[in-house]
């Protein structure tokens, strides 16, 4: 900029040296237009009203001194007069008149914009303070944004209101908390051509997973209409999770997609003169559009690709707003700012874990933000004006939190809302504050009573739970710098894909057992044969449930394939490129019968534990088509998404002939052993697997010892029976001999051997036995992993000491 005062700058003429004049947000827009536009990223045209205009406005209207006097009266201890002080400050600013030279500059810049775009173009008027959107703090939404503004004089008035919004209660509180001098912070205004998202859709994108900070995914949220609803968290958005390495390799990169309710759609209003917020209105979203996803595959790929370009350009994880013009079908990036929660952690090597030690009745559930637990007295509020009722340490329960709640959120032990999504403004602020929050419950203000004691848990995966009463829990801190992996591979036993990103940060060599049953039971919910033979289902209620769950799918079978493949892909992405061994389904007939539509397709068995389960199901006419769906899902994960780190495992394979039959069937269904590096393992959980281990090793690439089933079938006892449970013991000599035999066969045949079970973490002597025998890997449940690692280290140290004292002769 020259020495002459400049009150407006076109976005495409902004240089980084102007960042103090236009704020971080607008500098980002200008740089994107100038540099990222060459890479195909599209940004709406517009201009910035500079900080010079703001300072000149204060000086010409002689506002500074009076403003300073008002701010000095702020109660810095309890902020009891925050609303009053901020209101007086805004009123003082609004009494001023924008100097004619600034008015002319704004109106001329607006006319130029109209000449470049269309007559009387509608614009979004966005505030951007110099203390907003910094690399170390976001707190977006402190100041006001005005949408669908048109006409030069109306725009000038909107700019004046943006100036005043620098002193909203939330902005004043934020600057005070972070040590910013109120009178040193300036405000610029971005004037941006409106993208007709009112007829299209809009949303936000994070270039990392916002709950855990996992950096290899892009999370895109979106809704119908203008984006204010998603930013404020007033609707439940659609969500798409994209795996960056697959995107770069031009593979099928969407590893998860979820339909949100999208209850409201924000569109243009008829009149912007009566009230500043009347230029846009909220209407109910038609039910059919609530169930329809807003983006197709190509559109997700486009937005994810742009997000990746933006992240790579700035060299840091980003928080991005986007919109689709419904009239032209074109996409635009509205703004991009640094992600400020995970990317600025001072102690990324520390992992905090929380675990409930007891449970009670569930009052409500929703989207978990973070992984903490908190308890306290519930305070049900309907407005930020009731802030005085919330005492420190209480749980704030309300319909939705927007920027007006920011000043009081610090007092809350936890936050529970009816509405909101993982990438809403409220979620961003809750993460930055480190506040436990469960959003999007739908009914919290109805099911939680004001004043009752509750516990809010975000430690159980992506679903946050609110329990009755104050419950006991434990917290643990893990310093990953102090943990090294032993020579024996340490792997996870996984069930819930929702916890995969979180667990990936712990020291590990991958996943030794992913249980497919959890996904089928909790996500698919429908018996696969009920999807294959939907038109033959006799139970009318089951048919209606299936129709509702599969409404967005042309094929009922695609519903199963899509949900199963996404769940496995999520785990595979979390641990990529480390191995993820997925066990094909191992439901017993009584368990399968509990799925929707399951009764019609399951036999009645006296002893399902040793009945129609595992491998024998796969080639049976009663289940063969369902196994085909499992195989199609795994083929999609490996071949189309590119997760060749996924290995497959066959459970409860009674005979060698059965193993051969299943491997041949998998080949028929597109999963040929060795093709694209596919390895197929077998569970060693039946004595016959051990007795004929050499022959099983010719069919399969690896053995995974299931110590629970192997113990009960070797000792001939029911592990669920209290009468004989005392006899259940993996340390029994018979079990150890079988395990030793399998490990020896593995070494001789070059077949990897692992073990999945609780014993290695519970019994150090059992770990010592496994290490001494030379097992390749041991898999643990997540809560036992660290203890298991310690046990292995100690066992390996003793084994090395023993070998040095008794060297094996040449």
Give the other-Cβ count within 10 Å of 296's Cβ: 9
Opening angle at CA 412, ends 408 and 413, nearest 5: 165
Selecting among 342, 631, 756, 793, the annotated active-site residue is: 756
User: Rounded to 10 degrees, what is the CA torsion of 709, 711, 712, 717?
Assistant: -170
Q: H/E element holding 694?
A: helix 693-699
Who's near 619: CB < 8 A, 6+ residues apart?
627, 658, 661, 662, 665
Interatomic CA distance for residues 401 and 352, integer angstroms: 26
429 vs 435: CA distance, rounded Å: 9
Q: What's the CA gap between 744 and 584, in Å, rounded?
A: 26
Q: If you count them, how many residues does the chain have?
A: 810
Helix, strand or coil, per DSSP, at residue 26:
helix
* Residue 677 token pair: 């590096």
Beta strand spans in 298-419 (E): 318-324, 331-338, 350-356, 362-369, 373-380, 395-398, 414-417
Buried b (16+ CB within 10 A) or exposed e, 477-506: ebeeeebeebebbbbbbbbbbbbbbbbbbb
Q: Which residue from 319, 370, 311 is spatially nearest to 133, judged by alpha carbons?
A: 319
Beta bridge partners of 552: none
What is the C-alpha to C-alpha distance for residues 512 and 707, in angstroms, rounded to an integer? 14
Catalytic residue (one of 162, 182, 342, 425): 425
Tokens 């013991």: give the residue: 729
Phi, psi of 440 (to 5 degrees): 70, 30
Taking the C-alpha atoms of residue 60 and residue 63, their distance in angstroms, rounded to an integer, is: 8
Closest CA to 571 of 528, 632, 651, 510: 510
Q: Are 223 and 235 in contact (CB under 8 A)?
A: yes
- Is 313 among the residues known to form the active site? no
Residue 671: alpha-carbon gap to chain centroid: 30
The CA-atom distances, in angstroms, between 436 and each of 221, 374, 395, 743 are 21, 7, 9, 46
At 400, give phi and psi (nearest 5°).
-160, 145
Residue with tokens 């290695």: 760
Asked whether 493 and 513 are in contact (CB, 8 A), the reply is yes
- Distance between CA atoms of residues 199 and 410, nearest Å: 37
Distance CA 111, CA 120 (A): 8
Distance CA 453, CA 375 (A): 7
User: Has 425 been annotated as catalytic?
Assistant: yes
Note the helical H segments in 44-183: 51-60, 64-71, 82-94, 100-116, 152-164, 169-177
Q: CA-based angle 588:592:594, to the nearest 5?
A: 125
Residue 301 to residues 69, 243, 634, 635, 636: CA-CA distances in angstroms? 53, 11, 22, 21, 17
Q: Angle formed by the axes of helices 624-635 and 656-668, to 10°?
A: 60
User: Which burial class, exposed, middle or buried, applies to 146 when counting CB atoms under 10 A from its CB (0-12, 13-18, 19+)?
Assistant: buried
Please give the positions annotated as active site: 425, 756
């Amino acid at each position: 900029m020259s020495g002459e005062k400049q009150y407006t700058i076109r976005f495409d003429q902004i240089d980084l040296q102007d960042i103090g004049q236009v704020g971080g947000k607008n500098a980002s827009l200008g740089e994107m237009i100038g540099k990222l536009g060459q890479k195909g990223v599209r940004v709406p045209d517009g201009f910035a009203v500079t900080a010079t205009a703001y300072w000149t406005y204060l000086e010409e209207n002689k506002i500074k001194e009076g403003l300073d006097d008002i701010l000095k009266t702020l109660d810095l201890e309890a902020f009891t007069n925050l609303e009053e002080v901020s209101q007086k400050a805004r009123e003082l600013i609004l009494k001023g008149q924008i100097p004619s030279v600034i008015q002319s500059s704004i109106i001329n810049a607006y006319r130029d914009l109209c000449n470049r775009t269309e007559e009387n173009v509608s614009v979004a008027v966005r505030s951007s303070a110099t203390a907003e959107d910094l690399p170390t703090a976001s707190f977006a939404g402190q100041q006001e944004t005005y949408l669908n503004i048109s006409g030069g004089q109306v725009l000038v008035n909107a700019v004046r209101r943006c100036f005043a919004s620098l002193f909203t209660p939330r902005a004043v509180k934020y600057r005070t908390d972070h040590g910013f001098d109120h009178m040193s912070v300036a405000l610029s205004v971005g004037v941006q051509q409106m993208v007709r998202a009112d007829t299209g859709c809009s949303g936000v994108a994070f270039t990392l997973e916002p709950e855990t900070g996992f950096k290899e995914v892009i999370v895109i949220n979106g809704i119908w209409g203008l984006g204010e609803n998603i930013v404020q968290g007033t609707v439940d958005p659609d969500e798409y999770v994209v795996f960056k390495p697959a995107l770069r390799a031009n593979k099928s990169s969407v590893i998860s997609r979820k339909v949100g309710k999208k209850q409201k759609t924000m569109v243009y209003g008829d009149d912007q003169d009566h009230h500043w917020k009347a230029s846009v209105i909220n209407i109910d979203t038609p039910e059919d559009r609530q169930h329809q996803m807003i983006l197709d595959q190509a559109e997700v790929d486009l937005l994810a690709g742009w997000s990746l370009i933006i992240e790579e350009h700035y060299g840091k994880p980003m928080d991005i707003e986007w919109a689709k013009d419904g009239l032209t079908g074109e996409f635009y990036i509205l703004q991009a700012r640094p992600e400020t929660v995970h990317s600025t952690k001072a102690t990324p090597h520390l992992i905090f874990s929380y675990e409930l030690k007891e449970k009670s009745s569930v009052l409500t559930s929703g989207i978990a933000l973070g992984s903490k637990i908190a308890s306290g007295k519930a305070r049900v509020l309907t407005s930020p004006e009731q802030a005085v009722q919330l005492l420190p340490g209480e749980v704030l329960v309300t319909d939705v939190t927007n920027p007006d709640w920011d000043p009081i959120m610090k007092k809350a032990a936890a936050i529970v809302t009816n509405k909101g999504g993982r990438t809403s403004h409220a979620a961003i602020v809750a993460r930055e504050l480190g506040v436990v929050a469960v959003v999007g419950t739908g009914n919290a203000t109805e099911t939680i009573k004001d004043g009752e004691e509750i516990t809010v848990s975000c430690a159980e995966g992506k679903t946050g739970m609110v329990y009755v009463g104050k419950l006991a829990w434990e917290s643990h801190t893990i310093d990953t710098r102090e943990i090294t992996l032993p020579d024996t591979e340490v792997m996870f036993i996984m069930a819930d894909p929702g916890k995969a990103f979180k667990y990936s940060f712990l020291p590990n060599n991958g996943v030794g057992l992913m249980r497919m049953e959890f996904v089928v039971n909790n996500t698919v919910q429908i018996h696969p044969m009920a999807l294959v033979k939907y038109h033959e289902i006799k139970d009318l209620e089951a048919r209606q449930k299936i129709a509702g769950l599969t409404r967005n799918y042309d094929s009922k079978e695609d519903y199963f394939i899509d949900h199963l493949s996404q769940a496995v892909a999520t785990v595979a992405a979390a641990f990529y490129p480390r191995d993820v061994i997925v066990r094909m389904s191992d439901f017993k007939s009584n368990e399968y019968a509990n799925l929707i539509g399951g009764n019609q397709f399951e036999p009645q068995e006296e002893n399902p534990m040793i009945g129609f389960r595992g491998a024998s199901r796969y080639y049976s006419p009663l289940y063969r088509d369902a196994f085909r769906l499992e195989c199609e899902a795994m083929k999609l994960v490996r071949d189309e998404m590119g997760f060749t780190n996924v290995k497959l495992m066959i459970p409860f394979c009674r005979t060698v002939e059965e193993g051969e039959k299943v491997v041949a069937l998998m080949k028929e269904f597109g999963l040929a052993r060795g093709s694209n590096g596919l390895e197929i393992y077998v569970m060693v959980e039946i004595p016959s697997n051990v007795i004929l281990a050499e022959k099983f090793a010719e069919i399969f690439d690896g053995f995974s010892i299931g110590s629970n089933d192997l113990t009960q079938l070797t000792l001939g006892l029911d592990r669920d029976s209290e009468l004989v449970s005392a006899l259940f013991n993996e340390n029994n000599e018979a079990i150890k001999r079988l395990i030793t035999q399998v490990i020896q066969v593995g070494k001789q045949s070059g077949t990897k051997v692992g073990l999945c079970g609780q014993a290695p973490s519970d019994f150090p002597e059992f770990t010592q036995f496994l290490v001494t025998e030379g097992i390749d890997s041991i898999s643990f449940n997540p809560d036992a992993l660290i203890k298991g690692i310690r046990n292995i280290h100690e066992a390996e140290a003793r084994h090395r000491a023993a070998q040095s004292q008794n060297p094996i002769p040449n």
